[in-house]
Amino acid sequence: MKDLKHLIFFENLLEDCNNELVQKAQAEGKKCIGNMCYQTPEVLMELDGVFSARLRAPRTGGFEMATYYLTSFLCEYSRAILERALEGGYNHLDCLLVPDGCTMINRCVENMELLKTIDKEGFFYKYLEVPMKCDDNALNLLVSESRAKILQPLHDQFGCDISDEALRKAVERYNKLCRLVNEIGDFRKEDNPRITGYEFHIICMCTYVCPKDLLIPYLEETLEELKTREPDEKPPYRARVALVGSEVDDVDLVKLIEDAGALVVADRFCYGSLPGRKEIELNDEEDVLLQICRHYMVNSQCPRQMNLEKVNGRKEYINQIAKEYKVDGIIFEQMKFCDPWAYERTTGAYDMREKYNYPVLTIDRPYAVGISGQLRTRVQAFVESVEIKKLQGGK
Amino acid sequence: MGKAIGSERLGDLYTGGKVKKRREWRGVEDTLYDYKCWLGIMGMLAKYLVRPHFLKGFLRYRWMLNYISVPAMIDKHTVGLRGNHLKIAHEEYDLVAEDVAKLLDTAFKADRYCGNDEELSKKIVVLDENEMFAIMNGFPTLKGISWETAAVYVAVLLQGDAVTGYLDAIQEMGLPGDVCPMPAAEAGTAVLDDFPLFGACAVQCNTTCDGSLLGNGIMARRYEKAGIPVFQIAAPLRHTEEGVQEYAAQEIRNAIKFIEDCTGEKWDWDYYFENTKRYNEENRLRYSWMEMSRTDYPQVIGANLALYAETTYMAIAGRVPDFVEADRRITKLAQESFERKEMLVPEYRHRAIIWGVQAQYYTDFLPWLQNCWGILPLVDMLSLVYWDQLSEDDPEQAIYDLGKLYQEMIMRNRTHGGWEVLLDDLWRFCEYYRADMVILWEHISCKALTGMHGLFEERAKEHGIKLVWVNHDLMDPRVIPKQNIRDDVNRYMRTVLMEEPIDPSLEVLDDDKLW
């Protein structure tokens, strides 16, 4: 296929947290709101005058300093972020809003704060209590926490308008971006997709780490380009897979999988579009903040949501997207030392195999896979097994 | 060997096998008392074992084999003790042993595979092992039972490697070996269906960690398959904040309603307040023991405090009058010894706070610290729990109290709620208890604790506290054996402090096969 016009531009945006668009937005006077998890409603950080940026640690090498503070038993995402913070890599942020979600992210950010890693004047941290169930009580909690620890500080510190009208406007802008991402992503449903999983991953990740209004023109142009893009006559892949699991902000993982012969057609992971880029639907009757919080609570696929409906619902959701994107197999990934996804990978992989009858590859992986030969071999073997299964008529 | 403390080289009793050479000689009076208690435990075990459903349970569940070492478990926690301190230990452990036997008896009677008493089963609410049982304090006709307590928690206390088979089972299913072994072992037990099945419903809680929370998911799926409805109390993590208290209280209201709906029973405030009065008294008494530890003559410390406190605070929570009566007797004994300025070991060298989570397979490490190095384990993190008194007459306040208890249950009150309660409070306790040393259990798969590793070191240096790291893997002695735990201390004492042990025979022990 012909290269996408802006792919290198998108890739460059992911080379650094303080990227070209972040710098441009800050030069225009906007404040950069750091966040680390789906469970702090991203759209609330998209009010006029601010923009959200989810933390990554691109081009991570080692994390020796962070390992001293967190030990080698915490996941590499939390260590990579702390290391980058200790190196001064987040000094462009104006605040950091995080959930008391998984323990490791929580400890990572606490270390960042106690070690005074970000010295920007007026910089502040907020830790949100976020729901671990999906019910009315949990919704009330998320609403009150979002009001007290996101909206009010943004109003008090940066003068943001936090009225219902302002929230609706933010949702509108957010939805515009989601529509674009989803339209681009929908091409992956084609029998012979005109976009690769890698390209989509790069585009989707940019939407988490860049000011959205500055990114939208590039997405619009890319969408137009894709509408007329001709896929290769003979697809280079041998199996369609869904990539499911924990946080993936590594540019190399999807690439490695696709180089090994699989096409990643569905991205059900943190930093992915399913359900991270689902549009927020608002009605005119209910409180806007309540509706926004409900969207995040109901759609969250985080394994920390513990009620049985959610536990079983997560597996059913994977089955749904697997059908919708016509996958031949599922790759269940987990960042090593991630407790929530360790359990979810175990039960999820079991259900996908035993209950839903999908071929499943489960992997635990480092934060940055680079050119892991071991992982490549495992994916290659998985692709072969899926091919054999196809030849044998699914047996 | 004789009546005096420290009169015998305790390490000489080890043989490298399952049992020691002989019972410790403590002088005529203490030896006879100790032997009488030993016989009492044997008799109690025999009394339960002859019941048909109990015998069936004993033969059906492989973890039951660990229970033959109950007397040995008590022995290892009373090592070196004399006089009132020995009596305090027996008051505690003998009572806990009987309480666990009753738990097993009820569980096997109701168990679909053993006694299959359906009427009894309908009166049982299944609870997590690591959860406050106080939610049952308002239901006089119901029982709260945790099979996990019997199959996993107590089993490892009895025999260090009791759950390694369950860990292997869940790891074979795909769970990595780096998660906390406790919920992993519970999940492994569920996967192998090696647990008694009973109950009208189950109430789980997001207890201490992500692993525990996620392990509950596996259990909930198993209960669902067996037709046992499940409710999850999602207690807030940021428990020091006012903003989450209403949410926490509503979780309690919802849990009570769930139990009422599943069992047809009604919450009884009179019964709740009756239990709460006992609970408050237990906490007051326990607090008085810890206050003694501020002085030069601590009396209830180490394992005597840690293990018993966990049981009374979390699993009993005022419902069993025997415990508050035992607490009163313990307080009297401790008071007597305090007035006589009695010591637990011949020499006190260091006053230590035990922080972090203890190795479940080596709870007798605390007596070892005393006996080998003269390090007094004054108080431990798990015992330093919520000691505000609960309302004894206001139903509205009581709901908030319960909400707070679930947030600040053992371990969770420190591992969640921000660094202040884990990191900053430690140095405050050091000052309060006049400690010069911190024994920091580094449970390697507990991310909440290891995530503060570097800052613990830096702050200890700032406060001039001697910090001794002691690594373990909670329920898997294959990862870090007992001798490695001792060596962490031995190395520090010899190389950093350049001290010699009080009892050198305990420094290196051949106890891997010991119960």
Q: What is the pLDDT of residues A271-330, one digit of tens each?
A: 999 999 999 999 999 999 999 999 999 999 999 999 999 999 999 999 999 999 999 999
Query: Rounded to whole angstroms, how far apart are CA atoms A96 and A189?
Result: 36
Instruction: Give how far Cα B24 sits from Cα of B3, B5, B35, B378, Å.
Output: 11, 12, 10, 24
Q: Does B216 touch chain A (CB under 8 A)?
A: yes
Q: Nearest CB to B450: which of A71, A307, A334?
A: A71
Q: Does A137 touch chain B (CB under 8 A)?
A: yes
Whether residue B236 and residue A141 make contact (CB cut-off 8 A), yes or no, is yes
Q: Are A185 and A204 in contact (CB under 8 A)?
A: yes
The shortest C-alpha distance from B225 to chain A (Å) reads 12
Q: Nearest CB to B238: which of A100, A108, A131?
A: A100
Longest C-alpha distance within chain A, in Å?
64
Q: Does B236 touch chain A (CB under 8 A)?
A: yes
Chain A residue at shortest CA distance from B245: A141
Beta partners for residue B354, in sequence order? B380, B439
Q: Does B256 touch chain A (CB under 8 A)?
A: no
Would residue B511 count as lying in a domain? no
**Which residues in chain A touch residue B238, judged by CB atoms under 8 angstroms apart?**
100, 127, 129
What's B46-76 look like in SS3?
HHHHCCHHHHHHHHHCHHHHHHHHHHHHHHH
**Which residues in chain A touch residue B220, judged by CB atoms under 8 angstroms apart?**
306, 308, 311
Whether residue A308 and residue B224 make contact (CB cut-off 8 A), yes or no, is yes
Whether residue A74 and residue B254 make contact (CB cut-off 8 A), yes or no, is no
* pLDDT for position A395: 64
HSE, side-chain direction, 13 A CA sphere, residue A44: 30
Query: Rounded to whole angstroms, how far apart are CA atoms B105 and B28?
Result: 35
pLDDT tens per residue across span A45-88: 999 999 999 999 999 988 999 999 999 999 999 999 999 999 99
Q: Does A245 touch chain B (CB under 8 A)?
A: no
Would residue B434 count as lying in a domain? yes
Hey, what's the torsion of the CAs at B250, B251, B257, B260, to 10 degrees?
A: -140
Query: Rounded to whole angstroms, how far apart are CA atoms A281 and B89?
Result: 62
**B236: buried, middle or exposed (CB in 10 Å: 19+, 13-18, 0-12)?**
buried
Q: Does B191 touch chain A (CB under 8 A)?
A: no
Token pair for residue A274? 């399913």
User: At what angle are helices B453-463 and B425-432 packed, to 10 degrees?
Assistant: 40
Whether residue B170 and residue A346 make contact (CB cut-off 8 A), yes or no, is yes
Instruction: Give how far Cα A184 sits from Cα of A199, A296, B324, Å.
Output: 10, 22, 67
Whether residue A137 and residue B250 make contact (CB cut-off 8 A), yes or no, is yes
Whether residue B448 and residue A107 make contact (CB cut-off 8 A), yes or no, is yes
- The residues, any chain, with a CB within 8 Å of residue B356's CB and separated by 6 or more, are B381, B440, B441, B442, B443, B446, B449
Name the DSSP letter for residue B371: I
Whether residue A346 and residue B175 make contact (CB cut-off 8 A), yes or no, is yes
Contacts A–B by Cβ distance under 8 A: 158
| Sign of the dihedral defined by the CA atoms of residues B497, B498, B504, B506, in that order | positive
Chain B residue at shortest CA distance from A344: B214
Whether residue B217 and residue A347 make contact (CB cut-off 8 A), yes or no, is yes
Q: Which fold has domain A23-153?
A: Rossmann fold (3.40.50)
Would residue B442 count as lying in a domain? yes
Would residue B515 count as lying in a domain? no
Token pair for residue B28? 């005529």
**Which residues in chain A touch residue B237, judged by CB atoms under 8 angstroms apart?**
100, 129
Q: Does A344 touch chain B (CB under 8 A)?
A: yes
Share of chain A above pLDDT 70, in %: 99
Longest C-alpha distance within chain B, in Å?
65
Q: State whether residue B27 is helix, strand or coil.
A: coil
**Which residues in chain B touch residue A111, judged by CB atoms under 8 angstroms apart?**
451-452, 454-455
Q: Nearest CB to A133: which of B173, B178, B232?
A: B232
Q: Are A278 and A298 in contact (CB under 8 A)?
A: no
pLDDT tens per residue across span A229-258: 999 999 989 999 999 999 999 999 999 999
Share of chain A above pLDDT 90, in %: 94
Residues of chain A numbered 278-297 and touching chain B (CB < 8 Å): none
Q: Are B70 and B45 in contact (CB under 8 A)?
A: yes
- The gap from C-alpha A166 to its chain's centroid, in whole angstroms, comes to 25
* pLDDT for position B512: 81
Domain residue ranges of chain A, discontinuous segments joined by +: 23-153
**A346: buried, middle or exposed (CB in 10 Å: 19+, 13-18, 0-12)?**
buried
Beta partners for residue A295, in sequence order? none
Beta partners for residue B201, in sequence order? B125
Chain A residue at shortest CA distance from B253: A137
Q: Does B476 touch chain A (CB under 8 A)?
A: no
Query: Rounded to whole angstroms, how far apart are CA atoms B458 and B464?
Result: 10
Q: Does B226 touch chain A (CB under 8 A)?
A: no
**Which residues in chain B touch residue A106, judged by CB atoms under 8 angstroms apart?**
451
Token pair for residue A221? 């142009």
Q: Does A111 touch chain B (CB under 8 A)?
A: yes
Q: Does B461 touch chain A (CB under 8 A)?
A: no
**Which residues in chain A touch residue B448, judged by CB atoms under 8 angstroms apart?**
103, 107
Q: Which amino acid is at A301?
A: Q
**A137: buried, middle or exposed (CB in 10 Å: 19+, 13-18, 0-12)?**
middle
The residue segments making up the domain with residue B63 are 10-506
Token pair for residue A109? 């950010």
Binned average pLDDT, 10 residues per bin, chain B of 515 residues: 87 89 93 96 96 97 95 94 97 96 97 97 95 96 96 95 97 95 96 97 90 92 96 95 97 98 98 97 95 98 90 91 97 98 97 96 96 98 90 98 94 93 98 98 94 98 98 96 97 98 96 83
Q: Name the domain count of chain B.
A: 1
Q: Does A84 touch chain B (CB under 8 A)?
A: no
Summarize chain A as % helix, strand, coil (round to 5).
50, 10, 35
CB atoms within 10 A of CB B500: 10
Beta partners for residue A269, in sequence order? A245
Cis peptide before A236 (omega within 30 of 0): no
Site of tokens 């009695």: B342
* Mean pLDDT rounded to a whole number for chain A: 96
Query: Rounded to whole angstroms, how far apart are CA atoms B117 and B198?
Result: 9
The shortest C-alpha distance from A34 to chain B (Å) reads 19
Q: Are A342 and A349 in contact (CB under 8 A)?
A: no
Beta partners for residue A268, in sequence order? A244
Q: Nearest CB to B210: which of A70, A78, A339?
A: A339
**Phi, psi angle pair for B333, to nearest 5°:** -60, -45
Q: Does B43 touch chain A (CB under 8 A)?
A: no
Query: Rounded to whole angstroms, how far apart are CA atoms B185 and B283?
Result: 31
Query: Rounded to whole angstroms, how far apart are CA atoms B471 and B485?
Result: 6
Sheet containing B437-443, strands listed edge to edge, beginning at the edge strand earlier in sequence: B375-380, B350-356, B437-443, B466-472
Q: Are A339 and B177 in contact (CB under 8 A)?
A: no
User: At what angle are helices B269-292 and B321-339 packed, to 10 degrees?
Assistant: 20
Mean pLDDT of the A345-362 span: 97
